[in-house]
Structure 1
Amino acid sequence: MELVTKHGVILDKTNNSFENLGVFNPAVMQERNTVHMFYRAVRDGNFSTIGYCKLAGPLKVVARCKEPLFFPEIPEEFQGVEDPRITKIDDTYYLSYAAYDGINVFGAYATSKDLKTFERQGIITPRFTFEEYSELIKHNYDKISILHSLFYDLFGRYKLQRLMLGKIYVWDKNIIFFPKKINGKFAVLHRLFPSIQILYFNDPSELTEEFWEAYISDLSQHIVLQSEYMHETSHIGGGCPPIETDSGWLFIYHSVQSNSKKLIYHASAALLDLHDPTKVIGRLKKPLFSPTEPYEIEGYVNNVVFPTGTALFNDELYIYYGAADCCVAVASVNINSLLSALKNL
């Protein structure tokens, strides 16, 4: 999108042992002129924790912790706590993240009152093997993208889990809380490959195996966005927490293009209905921005821009993203211009 300005890299890895491989995909919480950033910090061996730094204004880092703020504590997090996002509902902060044990990925979250200490609330995504999921997803054959069915059915058919150690579960990533309850319930975006879905609950205790069996058997009713355009030929996933505007929820997400045996990660945008986010008001037909700079094109994973947080200064929306799984970079766009573009599609 021509209206986007790239401001370059604002945070890079250090010699500190917990972040000597890379820092990227940050959760962002703005409080007036202060931006709190909770970033994925990776050390040698691809083990992830969550680091913290503070910005004055949208671009200037003024403080940075020399140790992780949040780190693995349970077996499901053995390999790391990854790709955090953060929102605030009433007086509580919700930090969601991916729990990775080296084989499986689950969606989890923690809460805080002060952005300093976080209390784990546990894993909230389903625990089904690929074969179990393949059976459940068959109920949606005539209603969803063939990719949903084929991906899991093929995994189960060839029984790939027998070739690997441990039990292999379906991955559910990109857990993102809306910054307010919708119709009195927590509203959470998540990603069961390859689309983006929405989950509602009053209390995480409701998310039982029976709940998820019914949910997945009727997955088409929970889909917010499916791959639609050329820059989304592989899959899509959640990006930044939705932003409430008078026009709807402004949602910056990531879209992945499969191109000549490589994947290209783009930042994309959509506008969702305030009361029912499965209703799409508008969606950009081309990426909001794509990998064009050297720090986005070449890194630990090439050709990646991965948006995970925003801050609004006047009418300029700053989008914080992981670049090539190495560093944190920033782009900005006038929010009114972006909303106008989405509403006029």
Structure 2
Amino acid sequence: MKNYRLQRLSDQPIIQTTDVQPFIEGYEVLGAFNPAACQFGDEILLLLRVAEAPKAEKGYVAIPLIEEQDGVPTLVVKTFKEPEEDYDPRVVTIRGKAYLTSISYLRLARSRDGIHFTIDEKPFLFPARMDEAYGVEDARITFLDGKYWITYTAVSEHGPGVGLAVTTDFINVERVGMILPPPNKDVTLFPEKINGKYVLLHRPMVSDIGKPSIWLAESEDGVHWGNHRFLFGGRGLTDTQFDWEGAKIGAGPEPILTDEGWLVCYHGADPTHAYSLALALLDKDDPSKVLDRSELPLLTPELSWEREGFFPNVVFSNGWVQKSDGKIWVYYGAADSGVGLAELIQE
């Protein structure tokens, strides 16, 4: 993949956290980041992940989550005394149970030029099921069979799983439900059937045995998935040259079909949890065959707003758009706090 590079189109974020007003009364927006992206008519649409949190009194931590009340999933806030020991500001463990300190949902941003965006006032997809009780995160969009398939991470006390929703107009949206159970995430659908089957990339989360890796799966109907196969994993565990993808790895936006094969954007994280972006090339008729991969990352956190934020040292993409002039614009989350824009250039 030496003939590709990612070039930032701006040294400033195109969307910042301060551009987004909270939807929930009494909450504050902690981050607007990691957008899915697609071309829709004459607009480019982003599905931003927006993280909001209730304000807590000093010495306490406020936990937003969905609970069933009279059989109806309802947003509530639980308040606990702040742990005495240091803790991750995003995740806190209370009485042996892990909680998120914010709740994420998906919010539409619209643009004619792909650079200047107007952000909807209300969520497009807000947690509404118990398997989304901790939030809805990091969507991907694929246009397939005349509709837009939206895969996203659905988080609950049981871990992150993969939800699916579909829309034709980005006004009405239908939740299909959870298509891959926890622990799994980073799912993206291929934009066409391959050998008569729907195909996706996913990332099972490993424990004591195994290493971070991207897998392939196929389906007859786009809902029930099987024939799961290991595709590729991070190389940093066996070669320090690849430390940049040694700790975590996962697929980004939908694959793009080129003359050479399926182009896949993916992220890797090093042992310090710094995230970078890279590419892989898969055979167009048999995507289980990896033809090529980046030796070095194409984009790393270098600018101050990519290095400093809610979660520092992150560039993370789950949205790109192939424009009518052939250019590929890559939208990426920066430090869980904003959105950057780069162009993928083939030399």
Report the TM-score when normalising by structure 1: 0.76
Paired residues for 1:308-323 under 5 Å: 308-313=318-323, 314-323=325-334
**Matched letter for residue 279 of structure 1:** K
Q: Which residue of 1 aligns with 2:34?
A: 25
> How far did 1:333 drift?
2.4
**Matched letter for residue 14 of structure 2:** I
Contact between 1:256 and 1:265, CA under 8 Å: does it hold in 2? yes
Paired residues for 1:217-236 under 5 Å: 222-228=229-235, 229-236=242-249
Contact between 2:198 and 2:222, CA under 8 Å: does it hold in 1? no
> How far did 1:90 drift?
2.5
> How far did 1:103 drift?
4.5
Paired residues for 1:114-263 under 5 Å: 114-126=169-181, 170-193=182-205, 194-203=212-221, 206-207=224-225, 222-228=229-235, 229-258=242-271, 262-263=272-273
**Matched letter for residue 5 of structure 1:** Q
Encode CA deviations 1:54-101: one digit per residue, 9 max, x unaligned: 11123121x321110111111010111110000001211100000011
Q: How much is the aligned-residue C-alpha RMSD, in angstroms?
A: 1.9
> How far did 1:5 drift?
2.0
**Matched letter for residue 269 of structure 2:** V
SS at match of 1:29: strand
Q: Judging changes above 3 Å, is the alpha-carbon distance between structure 1 residues 3 and 238 closer, same or farther for their aligned structure 2 residues?
A: closer
Task: Tell me how far apart the structure 1 counterparts of residues 145 and 258 of structure 2 sit (CA, whole Å).
Answer: 17
**Where does structure 1 lack aligned partners over 5 or more consecutive residues?**
127-169, 338-345
> How far did 1:265 drift?
0.4
Task: Tell me how far apart the structure 2 counterparts of residues 179 and 34 of structure 1 sit (CA, whole Å).
Answer: 19
Q: Which residue of 1 aligns with 2:284?
A: 274
**Where does structure 2 lack aligned partners over 5 or more consecutive residues?**
54-100, 206-211, 236-241
Contact between 1:171 and 1:192, CA under 8 Å: does it hold in 2? yes
Q: Which residue of 2 aligns with 1:106?
A: 161
> How far did 1:17 drift?
3.6
Task: Tell me how far apart the structure 1 counterparts of residues 173 and 137 of structure 2 sit (CA, whole Å).
Answer: 15
Contact between 2:108 and 2:120, CA under 8 Å: does it hold in 1? yes
SS at match of 1:41: strand
Q: Judging changes above 3 Å, is the alpha-carbon distance between structure 1 residues 333 and 105 closer, same or farther for their aligned structure 2 residues?
A: same
Contact between 1:76 and 1:100, CA under 8 Å: does it hold in 2? yes
Q: Which residue of 1 aligns with 2:6?
A: 4
**Matched letter for residue 16 of structure 1:** P
The structure carrying a bigger helix percent of its residues is 1
Q: Which residue of 1 aligns with 2:49?
A: 40
> How far did 1:34 drift?
1.8
The structure carrying a bigger strand percent of its residues is 2
Q: Which residue of 2 aligns with 1:60?
A: 116
Contact between 2:31 and 2:338, CA under 8 Å: does it hold in 1? yes
SS at match of 2:14: strand
Name the count of aligned residue pairs: 278
Paired residues for 1:328-339 under 5 Å: 328-334=339-345, 336-337=346-347
Q: Which residue of 2 aligns with 1:137?
A: none
> How far did 1:281 drift?
1.4
Task: Tell me how far apart the structure 1 counterparts of residues 47 and 176 of structure 2 sit (CA, whole Å).
Answer: 18
Contact between 1:243 and 1:251, CA under 8 Å: does it hold in 2? yes
Encode CA deviations 1:98-147: one digit per residue, 9 max, x unaligned: 00114411111011121221111111114xxxxxxxxxxxxxxxxxxxxx
Contact between 1:88 and 1:94, CA under 8 Å: does it hold in 2? yes
**Matched letter for residue 49 of structure 1:** Y
Deviates more, 1:4-13 or 1:72-81: 4-13
Encode CA deviations 1:303-328: one digit per residue, 9 max, x unaligned: 10001111123243211111001111
Identity %: 32
Contact between 2:179 and 2:224, CA under 8 Å: does it hold in 1? no
Task: Tell me how far apart the structure 2 counterparts of residues 91 and 332 of structure 1 sit (CA, whole Å).
Answer: 27
Task: Tell me how far apart the structure 2 counterparts of residues 28 and 287 of structure 1 sit (CA, whole Å).
Answer: 21
> How far did 1:4 drift?
2.6
Report the TM-score when normalising by structure 2: 0.76
Paired residues for 1:72-87 under 5 Å: 72-87=127-142
Task: Tell me how far apart the structure 1 counterparts of residues 256 and 224 of structure 2 sit (CA, whole Å).
Answer: 26
Encode CA deviations 1:143-190: one digit per residue, 9 max, x unaligned: xxxxxxxxxxxxxxxxxxxxxxxxxxx510011111111111111111
Contact between 1:86 and 1:93, CA under 8 Å: does it hold in 2? yes
Q: Judging changes above 3 Å, is the alpha-carbon distance between structure 1 residues 114 and 15 closer, same or farther for their aligned structure 2 residues?
A: closer
